[in-house]
Amino acid sequence: MQRFSDVVGPSVEDERIDLLGGALLIAETEYPQLRPELYIRKIEELALRAKSLLSETPDAAQSIQVLNRVLFEEEQLRGNNDDYYDPRNSFLNDVLDRKLGIPITLAVIYMEIARRIGFPLFGVGMPGHFLLKHYDVDGRESLIDCFESGKILSATDCQRRLNEIYSGQLTLQPNFLGAIPRRQILMRMLNNLRSVYLTRRNFRKGLQIVDLILAIYPRSPEDVKQRAVMLHELGQASRALEDFDLYLKMSPEASDADEIRQVSLSIRRKLATLN
């Protein structure tokens, strides 16, 4: 966790965050023996291939066309519609090896290659579906959907996507298409994994992810509480008690404070019987 904190912790300025390095550290929660340099080299090789296809002064349209060709035609990366919630879709090494991902991991790969060829892109945290954005020199925006092989989207396309995800219950707002910082991109990757593990009640792996989330936002009471709950479920009563007490210290007036105090008291009584 310390290595992850060194990359994305609160003391690191957002523009200095190593997005690719942070994403590969997330993958190390599943693959402790991962050799990140192999995947960094892969990204660099893909960038060199893309650069060799560009003219000396490429415009946005050509840059996107070339990136789409290298990633989605030649490498055959694609969105995993068949098993969207497979946790492997969130690990960059798996995405590069299996050629399958979800919008945000495909977008991170696309962004990192684009950055290396001098084509700046920004993450767009639209609810339910991560996108990329490019600003032309005249300020015009292009929205790119990496889950759909680099398709350029209009606002109408974005609303259509929201309708599919939220059954027509969510209307597109301008802030949905705003650029988000690198720290939030990594946070969204972690939130996706957390959701997958909690749905499967895999608290051991979920705990690893919440630890990384707290490396980004160490003063998040809700995440401290969630870690306490998972520790309790895993039978780690002493550590759970520490986190429940920390939550109460951080949020003494929380709506569930009395309930958490009762849980803490119950744990203390149980621990006392063991001494």
173-187 pLDDT tens trace: 999 999 999 999 999
- The secondary structure of 64-132 as a DSSP string is HHHHHIIIIIIS--EE--TTTT-GGGG-HHHHHHHSEE-HHHHHHHHHHHHHHTT---EEE--TTS-EE
Q: What is the pLDDT of residue 274?
A: 79
151 sits in the region (left: phi over 0; alpha: psi -120 to 50; else beta) called: beta
Say how far apart CA 235 and CA 255 lie, in whole Å.
25
**Of 273, 275, 217, 272, the residue nearest 250 (C-alpha):** 217
C-alpha triplet 143, 147, 148: angle, nearest 5°: 75
Q: What is the pLDDT of residue 179?
A: 95
Q: What is the pLDDT of residue 275?
A: 65
**Coil, strand, or helix at residue 255?**
coil
98-145 pLDDT tens trace: 999 999 999 999 999 999 999 999 999 999 999 999 998 877 899 999
**Of 13, 145, 156, the residue nearest 71 (C-alpha):** 145
68 sits in the region (left: phi over 0; alpha: psi -120 to 50; else beta) called: alpha
Q: What is the pLDDT of residue 2?
A: 87
Mean pLDDT (whole number) for 239-254: 96
Q: What fold is seen in the domain 2-182?
A: C8orf32 fold (3.10.620)
Q: What is the pLDDT of residue 139?
A: 78
Domain residue spans of the chain: 2-182, 219-274
- Residue 208: exposure state from Cβ atoms within 10 A (0-12, 13-18, ≥19): buried
Residue 52: is its pLDDT beyond 80? Answer: yes
Question: By 3-state DSSP, what share of the chain in percent is helix, strand and coil, each rounded to 5?
Answer: 65, 10, 30
